Amino acid sequence: MTDPRWWAKGVLFENCNCQLLCPAHLSFRQRCTHDRCIGHWAIHVDEGRHGDVGLDGLNAFIVTESPPRMIEGGWTQAIYLEEQADKAQRQALERIFTGVAGGTWAVLARFVSHRLDTRFVPIGFRDDGRRKAMWIEGCMETTIEAIRGAEKGREALLENVFNQIHAPTQVLGLGRTRYADRTLAFDVADTHALASRFAWTGP
């Protein structure tokens, strides 16, 4: 199967067990805070298409565990996709996030050596500006909150950093996540978090 052109825009936020600003976010060659880095990407697609398949309003949640230097590969990954998506939407999202459809996620897929079966579940999402949340009943709840910057009314920003999936400007934050499913689990508070408005294309 050859994938058609696809694109997606929306909200992306992450939280992992590293201290404020995960070193791997600056470079996969940097050593993370702990012997295993475990965290998530929470994704809400505002609008997007995979060929003729619309992706508007769909959510995804991706958990990754890796060695302290992420560039070494050997990642374990679990993907959760929106249960309400129809068969074509499910297939499109899974192909995008496993890297099969090309584009940004194909680069990250090279580091994954063990991918758990994709689960299709109801995923809740809320964006209150400085505070963002996602949840899967009985499995996961995560919340991040932006850090206020020096200028009143504005968040602290991270800019001029190369990153495969985030926008060029990212909002720094602190996160709280409880997650446990199959072989992966983590429970963190006041640790590394980021948010941005993504724009992806492929293949």
Asked if residue 110 has pLDDT above 70, the reply is yes
**In contact, 170 and 158? CB cutoff 8 Å:** yes
- Per DSSP, the chain holds a count of helices (H) and strands (E) of 3, 13
Report the SS3 class of residue 35.
Answer: coil
**In contact, 7 and 104? CB cutoff 8 Å:** no
Asked if residue 2 has pLDDT above 90, the reply is no
Q: CA-CA distances (angstroms) from residue 25 to 5, 9, 21, 120, 161?
A: 28, 21, 7, 28, 8
Predicted pLDDT at 1: 66
Distance CA 201, CA 125 (A): 23
pTM, to two decimals: 0.94
Predicted pLDDT at 65: 96
Distance CA 189, CA 101 (A): 34
Single-letter amino acid, residue 140 = M
Q: What confidence tens digit (pLDDT) does each residue in 76-94 have?
A: 999 999 999 999 999 999 9
Average pLDDT over residues 22-44: 89
- The tokens describing 158, both together, are 């991270």
Distance CA 71, CA 24 (A): 9
Average pLDDT over residues 64-68: 94
Report the candidate in 126, 105, 143 with the shortest Cα–Cα distance to residue 14.
143
Q: What confidence tens digit (pLDDT) does each residue in 111-169 have?
A: 999 999 999 999 999 999 999 999 999 999 999 999 999 888 899 999 988 888 999 99
Predicted pLDDT at 112: 97
**In contact, 16 and 190? CB cutoff 8 Å:** no
Average pLDDT over residues 174-183: 96
> Can you give 148-193 as a three-state secondary structure string?
ECCCCCCECEECCCCCCCCCCCEEEEEEEEEEEECCEEEEEEEEEE
Average pLDDT over residues 23-30: 82
Average pLDDT over residues 165-186: 96
Structural domain boundaries in the chain? 6-195
Average pLDDT over residues 40-55: 98
Predicted pLDDT at 123: 98
What average pLDDT does the chain have? 94
Beta pairing class for 37-50 and 53-54 = antiparallel
